[in-house]
Structure 1
Amino acid sequence: MTNDADRKRDVATTFGNATDGYRDSAVFEEGADLERLVDWTAGATRALDVATGAGHVASAVAERDVTRVVAADLSPEMVATATSEYDGLEGAVTDAERLPFATDSFDAVTCRFAAHHFPDPESFLAEVKRVLAPDGVLAFEDLAVPDNSELADYVNRIERLRDPGHAETYSPAQWRDWLESAGLTIEAVRETSRRLEVDAWLERMDVPDDRRREIRSLLSNVPAELEDAFDFRYADDGERLESYRTGVVLLRARA
Structure 2
Amino acid sequence: MEDRSKSTKELAMQQFGAHAGHYVTSALHAQGPDLKWLVEQAALSGTERLLDVATGGGHVVNALAPLVREAVACDLTPEMLEAARGLLAANGRTNVTFAEGDAEALPFGEAAFDLVTCRIAAHHFPDPNAFVRECRRVLRPDGRLLLVDNVCPEEPDADALYNEVEQTRDPSHFRAWTKAEWIARLEGAGLKVHSLEAFPKTFRFQDWCERMGVEPAVREHLERKLLDAPEPLRRRLGVQEEAGRLVSFAGESVLIAASPRA
Q: State the TM-score bracket (shorter-chain normalisation).
A: over 0.9
Work out whether 1:46 is the aligned partner of 2:49: yes
- For each residue in 1:211-238, what CA deviation from the matched residue of structure 2 results, as whole angstroms up to 9, or x when unmatched? 1111111111223333223322222x2x
Residues 125-181 of structure 1 show CA distances to partners (whole Å, capped at 9, x for unaligned) of: 000000000121111111111111221111111001100101001111110110110
| Residue identity opposite 2:64 in structure 1 | V
Q: Distance in 2 between matches of 1:228 and 1:135?
A: 43
Distance change >3 Å, CA 37–CA 222, structure 1 → 2: farther
5 Å-filtered alignment, 1:1-255, equals: 1-43=2-44, 45-64=48-67, 66-86=68-88, 87-88=93-94, 89-235=96-242, 237=243, 239-255=244-260
**1-structure distance, mates of 2:193, 2:70:** 25
Amino acid at match of 1:113: I
Q: Which amino acid aligns with 1:62?
A: A
Task: Give the counterpart letter for 1:17 in structure 2.
Answer: A
CA–CA distance in structure 2, aligned partners of residues 19 and 202 of structure 1: 14
2:123–2:150 contact (8 Å) kept in structure 1: yes
Identity of aligned residues (%): 37
Distance in 1, matches of 2:39 and 2:189, equals 22
> Are the equivalent residues in 1 in contact too, given 2:4–2:126 (CA < 8 A)?
no
**In 2, distance between residues paired with 1:233 and 1:39?**
33
Amino acid at match of 2:43: A
AA of the residue aligned to 2:192: T
Q: Which runs of 5+ in 2 are unaligned?
A: none
Question: What SS is found at the alignment partner of 2:172?
Answer: coil
Distance 1:49 1:224 in 2: 40
TM-score, with structure 2 as normaliser? 0.93
How many equivalent residue pairs? Answer: 252
Unaligned runs of 5+ in 1: none
- In 2, Cα distance between the equivalents of 1:165 and 1:173? 23
> Which amino acid counterpart does residue 136 of structure 2 have in structure 1?
K
Deviation at 1:104, TM superposition (A): 0.4
Distance 2:10 2:180 in 1: 29
The DSSP-based 3-state class of the residue aligned with 1:251 is: strand
User: Which runs of at least 4 in structure 1 moved beyond 4 Å after TM superposition?
Assistant: none
Equivalent-residue separation in structure 2 for 1:184 and 1:79 (angstroms): 28
Contact 2:226 2:239 in 1 (8 A): no
Partner-residue secondary structure (3-state), 2:15 = helix
